[in-house]
Amino acid sequence: MRVSTDTAHNFWRQSTHSRRGFYAPHHQLINLLHNIARIALHLISIRVISVAGLIFALWLCPVQVFANLGLYLAGVNLAALAVFGRYELLVVAAHDERRCADTVHLCVLTSAGALAAVLLIGATLELGHITYVTLAFAGALFARAWLRLGLTLATRHGRYDRAVKALLPHAIGQPAILVSLIYKGQDPFLAFVLSDLLGQLIAAAGVYISERHAFHAALRGPIRLQKIRELASVNFRLPTLNLTAAASALLFATTPLFFLPWLSNGILAGTLALLFRVLDMPANLTSSSISPILMKEISDRRRNDTLWFARGTFLLPVAIATVVFGLISLGGLTVNRLELAPTWHLALTVLPAVALFQASIAATAPLIDIATLAGRQKGLFALNIVSVGLAIAVLLLWRHEPVSAILMAGSIGFVRVIVMSVWLVGADQPAVAIAVRASARAVE
């Protein structure tokens, strides 16, 4: 029996498509891991300098300062998360440069309102006077907003690795300013606040120089207020559902820091706060390496109407975070067991508990971005709220045993990340930005 040429051609095409479907996910994951590793190496070289400066500053100031510093930085980071109303996600997802410019203008207007609100609230709380803390808070918020906008533009254009290299002056400048201020006798807390402000301004300036063409292209065009209003109204879920989901995730990440200043053991509180501060760097490194790569990949597939996306991709954040913080814990326990750093015995003893907690935080940010593009913010918010409630209950009930409480809170966070990963794997169209696609078409 003869087989027609068309039938044979169709059979070959289907079999080729099947083979591609079998091999493509592995090839894609390898490419993603390669890109993540490249960015991670750049970030590691920068973070090592920051950690060295932070550890050196520890010898010049009491460890108890880190408890109050952690509370201050938690407030700044929470405000920085809301400064754009999460509209910055639309910059990456914009179909063309015109809509990208409208989104950037929307972000600028939103951040201006947020900064004005911070100054107004600060003046109200301080009975009409604006102190250096309020000014430093507003300045740090402005610097973080400008930095985030620059990194977002770099993510859109696939230049995130180049923007990361522009952070090198920040990595050198911030610890140098910190050590210099403390060495000259400045109040340690004020020294940390000022060094954070100046360091973030240096970082924002470096990324702006790196992405100046993208900034100019987005900001030099006319401000189309009608389009901006439409963009904001159509994407109302970003400052409502998504912002609350992201804020609740950050609230979970900072929950232990709000309890540390009230511990009776000041040395243990300062040690735990210092570990949270030090391990916050690899946590940011991990999420900052993964999130822009996945955001770029998903946004490109959405613009090209590509529905397929490897399911294993959604398990990458939790897998990478587990490896990174598992190695950190193993290294700390080994150093402690061999008594290579006896003065760090307390810190190395409680290190695994903080590392478990920070591992769950490192894997959360990329998954929140993916859930946003998948239009699944509502379930994410509920999951975060339950996790925050459980963490607060654990920290209150075991407040006399803070290490055990943090260990249990970290276990809750890790379970949350695993549930979130499995939940996204089971999505019908995980790679398609359903909500953002609809909004973009509506604005058109």
Q: What is the CA 411 to chain-centroid distance, rounded?
A: 20
* CA nearest neighbour of 150 among 162, 139, 140, 138: 162
Q: What is the pLDDT of residues 13-64, one digit of tens each?
A: 333 343 334 334 566 667 777 777 777 776 776 667 776 776 776 677 776 6
Q: Where are the alpha helices (DSSP H) in 312-376?
A: 316-337, 345-362, 364-373
Q: What is the CA 46 to chain-centroid distance, rounded?
A: 17
- Tokens found for residue 297: 């990949």
**Percent of the chain topping pLDDT 90:** 20
Does the global pTM surpass 0.95?
A: no
Give 235's DSSP letter.
T
Q: 176: number of CA atoms within 13 Å, CB side?
A: 7
Query: Distance between CA 375 and CA 432 in Å, rounded?
Result: 9
Computed from CA positions of residues 289, 202, 153, 233, in that sequence, does the dihedral angle turn out positive or negative?
Answer: positive
Residue 127 region, left (φ>0) first, then alpha (ψ -120 to 50), else beta?
A: left
Query: Distance between CA 368 and CA 320 in Å, rounded?
Result: 16
Give 342's DSSP letter.
G
Q: Where are the domains of the chain?
A: 27-443
- Break the chain down into helix, strand, coil percent, rounded to 5: 85, 0, 15
Q: What is the pLDDT along the chain (444 residues), one digit of tens a residue?
A: 333 434 333 433 333 343 334 334 566 667 777 777 777 776 776 667 776 776 776 677 776 677 677 778 878 888 888 899 888 888 887 888 898 999 999 999 999 999 999 888 888 877 666 778 888 899 999 999 999 999 999 888 888 878 888 888 888 888 889 888 888 888 888 888 899 999 999 999 999 999 999 999 988 878 898 999 998 888 887 887 777 877 888 889 888 888 887 888 878 888 888 888 888 878 887 887 788 877 777 777 766 665 545 666 777 888 888 888 998 999 988 988 888 888 888 888 999 999 999 999 988 888 887 777 666 666 778 888 899 999 999 998 888 888 999 999 999 998 998 888 887 776 544 333 444 444 444 444
Give 307's DSSP letter.
-
- Tokens found for residue 443: 């604005």
Are the CB atoms for 170 and 47 separated by under 8 Å? no
For residue 199, the one-letter residue type is: G
